């Protein structure tokens, strides 16, 4: 329940990045002994993954609120449970440790947010290039992977970049002795954390633009010192959007310019204030917001995860804004919810010369729907009953309800908990009138 209308002010400290923590928990299973990770966010997706790990026999021990010890030596099962596997998108990344440990893996079709079809064809093609035999059984919903004649080094090029696919390839190559080269890789900075973690375990990895070379080893050392997970830049964008949409002023501890540059550029273009400090960035309202045009892109471009919160901001900007989504085919699920509050959206299809190349999902004419919206601002938002459809859309609805007049109900808040640690506590500290019921 949110009573809107108050400007959010104060400081907020970011949690560890969801999209790093999940991968490092899985990569820990490649190591020889116990691994300790710190700054691990206490979020639903991490908890779900840990349930899955425990079911596989992995030892899990919270040493501190955000410090997690993982014991891979007790891993005993090569089959991922259907229920646990369906609850976490990254379960298919277990192909790497399970294939290395058992020479086979049985993993259900991945779950996670329904922001598009989200096939894993590029991952499968990559696994095959490294020597795995992969089949899908539609009667059980399971992928079966085997490495009968062992995994081998590869030179592989992704047909289009994939973030988790790139990470899976790095994990796989790390335990195959010799050099593997992966081309047309994703460029997200979260991948650097995985590279740093594996480097600490003894793997040499070089990243040049979109080409990654991995010199795999036969054994991965477990880390002596805890490995610290970077702060969550998607969480930073969410709180920055709260600040600007509510005409507030928030300092975000842990936010860094390097991973947020394209967002900061747009904030300045919209006429809002940004003050960069040593270990934080302050975002503040300083007068009427201006309309902007966004085309989502892979890093270092404006991320797909940022367009939903940005859309709320643009309902408060003067003029017509546009958002063109390139990465996923179904990422405007928040728009009908914002329309309920009085926002004015219009779907449209911008002219694009070669859609198959331009869009990062597998674009097909027969399934095509508009990939862009126009947002007519500035609109006065009123309260409503809103339904969360996916993680980023969920956080976006909280922003909209904070801007709106009156009290709103946001249903399905547990989806937001999948990626945001104690969001209502952090928001209350900045003056939000929010309660969980
Ligand atoms: N794709 C395919 N086939 C594949 C792989 C990808 O068609 O084999 C398509 C996807 O469906 C999508 C596009 O290619 O349309 C890009 O997908 P990518 O694989 O890069 O995305 P992802 O790895 O599934 C990760 C994050 C997302 C984030 C994107 C983009 C994790 C767990 N998820 O997804 O984060 O939006 O990269 O950076 O790392 C979130 O945190 O809420 C979230 C959705």
Q: Assess whether pLDDT exceeds 70 at residue 82.
A: yes
H helix or E strand, kind and range, residue 307: helix 307-315
- Residue 157's pLDDT is 98
Is the confidence at residue 93, as pLDDT, over 60? yes
Pocket test for ligand 1, best of 162, 165, 302 (most atoms within 8 A of CB): 162
Atom of ligand 1 nearest to the CA of 123: 8
Q: State yes or no: pLDDT of 364 exceeds 80.
A: yes
d(CA 157, CA 437): 49
Q: Is the distance from the beta carbon of residue 163 to the nearest atom of ligand 1 less than 6 Å?
A: yes
Q: How distant is the alpha carbon of residue 94 from its chain centre?
A: 17
Q: How far does the centroid of ligand 1 lie from the alpha carbon of residue 164, in Å?
A: 7
Q: Please state the pTM of the whole predicted model.
A: 0.97
Residue closest by Cα to atom 30 of ligand 1? 163
Q: Which residues contact 183 (CB under 8 A, 6 or more apart)?
A: 155, 156, 157, 158, 210, 211
- pLDDT band of residue 308 (cuts 50, 70, 90) is very high
Q: In this predicted model, what pLDDT tens digit does every residue of 101-115 receive, in sequence order?
A: 999 999 998 755 555
Measured in Å, residue 116 CA sits from the centre of ligand 1 at 9
Among residues 93, 105, 113, 173, which one is catalytic?
A: 113
Asked if the model's pLDDT at residue 334 lies above 90, the reply is yes
Sign of the dihedral through C-alpha 285, 286, 290, 294: negative
Backbone angles phi, psi at 289, to 5 degrees: -85, 150
Reply yes or no on whether 185 is catalytic. no
Query: What atom of ligand 1 comes closest to residue 190's alpha carbon?
Result: 39
Phi, psi at 348, each rounded to 5°: -155, 165
**Confidence band (pLDDT; 50, 70, 90) for 117?**
low
Mean pLDDT over residues 47-68, rounded?
A: 97
How much of the chain, in percent, has pLDDT values that exceed 70?
98
8 Å CB contact between 14 and 232: yes
Ligand 1 proximity of 206 Cβ (cutoff 6 Å): no
Of the chain, the end-to-end C-alpha distance in Å amounts to 7
Rounded to the nearest angstrom, the distance between the alpha carbon of 165 and the centre of ligand 1 is 8
Residue 278 Cα to ligand 1 middle (Å):
31
Mutate to test the pocket of ligand 1, among 18, 19, 116 (most ligand atoms within 8 A of CB): 19
DSSP H or E segment with residue 49: helix 44-55
CA distance 368 to 1: 36
Q: Is 90 in the pocket of ligand 1 (CB under 6 A)?
A: yes
Please work out whether the CB of residue 327 comes within 6 Å of at least one atom of ligand 1.
yes
- For residue 298, give the ligand 1 atom closest to its CA: 38
- pLDDT for position 118: 75
Q: Is the pLDDT of residue 40 over 80?
A: yes
121 C-beta closer than 6 A to ligand 1: yes
List pLDDT tens digits, range 175-203: 999 999 999 999 999 999 999 999 999 99
User: Does 188 contact ligand 1 (Cβ within 6 A)?
Assistant: yes
**Does residue 405 have a pLDDT over 80?**
yes
> SS3 sequence, 207-269?
EECCEEEEEECCCECCCCCCEECCECHHHHHHHHHHHHHCCCEEEEECCCHHHHHHHHHHHHH
Read off the pLDDT of each residue in 404-431 and give the average, rounded to a whole number: 97
The length of the chain in residues reads 437
Question: Ligand 1 pocket: which of 232, 360, 363 to mutate (most atoms <8 Å of CB)?
Answer: 360
Ligand 1 pocket check for 362: Cβ under 6 Å: yes
Cβ neighbours of residue 362 closer than 8 Å, sequence gap 6 or more: 117, 119, 121
**Mean pLDDT for the stretch of residues 241-264:** 97
Residue 337 reports pLDDT greater than 80: yes
Q: What is the mean pLDDT of the chain?
A: 95
Q: Which atom of ligand 1 is nearest to the CA of 45?
A: 32
Of 183, 90, 209, the C-alpha closest to 129 is: 183
pLDDT at 112: 52
Nearest to 130 by CA among 103, 111, 110: 103
Measured N-to-C along each axis, helices 190-200 and 18-27 cross at an angle, to the nearest 10 degrees, of 30
Q: What is the whole-number distance in angstroms between the Cα of residue 420 and the centre of ligand 1?
A: 18
Per residue in 194-245, pLDDT (tens digit) is 999 999 999 999 999 999 999 999 999 887 789 999 999 999 999 999 999 9
111 and 91 in contact (C-beta within 8 Å)? Answer: yes
Q: What is the pLDDT of residue 174?
A: 98
The CA radius of gyration of the chain, in Å to the nearest whole number, is 22
Res. 127 pLDDT band, cuts 50 70 90: very high
CA distances from 42 to 58, 389, 420 (A): 19, 21, 8
Which one is predicted more confidently, 392 or 119?
392
CA 425 to chain centroid, in Å, comes to: 22
Does residue 391's CB lie within 6 angstroms of at least one atom of ligand 1?
yes
At 148 the pLDDT is 86
User: What's the pLDDT score for residue 116?
Assistant: 60
Residue 366's pLDDT is: 86
pLDDT of residue 111: 59
């Amino acid at each position: 329940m949110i009573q809107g209308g108050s400007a959010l002010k104060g400081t907020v400290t970011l949690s560890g990045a969801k999209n790093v923590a999940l991968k490092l928990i899985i990569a820990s299973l490649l190591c020889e002994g116990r691994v300790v990770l710190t700054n691990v966010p206490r979020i639903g997706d991490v908890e779900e993954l840990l349930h899955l790990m425990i079911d596989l026999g992995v030892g899990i021990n919270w040493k501190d609120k955000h410090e997690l010890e993982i014991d891979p030596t007790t891993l005993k099962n090569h089959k991922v449970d259907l229920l646990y596997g369906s609850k976490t998108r990254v379960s298919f990344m277990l192909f790497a440790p399970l294939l290395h440990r058992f020479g086979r893996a049985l993993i259900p079709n991945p779950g996670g947010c329904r922001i598009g079809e989200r096939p894993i064809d590029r991952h499968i093609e990559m696994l095959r290039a490294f020597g795995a035999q992969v089949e899908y059984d539609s009667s059980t919903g399971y992928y079966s992977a085997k490495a009968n004649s062992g995994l081998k080094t590869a030179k592989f090029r992704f047909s289009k970049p994939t973030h988790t696919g790139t990470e899976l390839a790095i994990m796989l190559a790390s335990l195959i002795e010799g050099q593997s080269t992966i081309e047309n890789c994703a460029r997200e900075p979260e991948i650097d954390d995985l590279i740093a973690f594996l480097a600490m375990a003894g793997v040499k990895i070089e990243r040049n633009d979109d080409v990654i070379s991995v010199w795999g080893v036969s054994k991965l050392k477990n880390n002596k010192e805890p490995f610290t997970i970077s702060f969550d830049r998607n969480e930073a964008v969410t709180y920055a959007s709260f600040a600007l949409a509510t005409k507030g002023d928030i300092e975000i501890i842990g936010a860094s310019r390097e991973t947020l540059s394209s967002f900061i550029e747009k904030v300045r273009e919209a006429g809002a204030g940004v003050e960069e400090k040593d270990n934080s960035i302050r975002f503040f309202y300083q007068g009427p917001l201006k309309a902007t045009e966004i085309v989502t892109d892979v890093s270092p471009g404006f991320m797909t995860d940022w367009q939903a919160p940005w859309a709320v901001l643009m309902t408060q900007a003067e003029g017509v804004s546009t958002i063109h989504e390139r990465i996923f085919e179904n990422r405007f699920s928040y728009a009908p919810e914002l329309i309920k509050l009085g926002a004015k959206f219009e779907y449209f299809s911008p002219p694009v010369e070669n859609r198959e190349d331009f869009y990062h999902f597998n674009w097909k004419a027969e399934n095509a729907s508009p990939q862009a919206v126009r947002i007519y601002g500035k609109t006065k938002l009123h309260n409503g009953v809103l339904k969360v459809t996916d993680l980023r859309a969920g956080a976006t609805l909280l922003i909209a309800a904070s801007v709106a007049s009156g009290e709103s109900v946001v249903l399905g808040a547990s989806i937001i908990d999948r990626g945001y640690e104690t969001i209502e506590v952090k928001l209350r500290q900045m003056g939000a009138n929010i309660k969980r019921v």
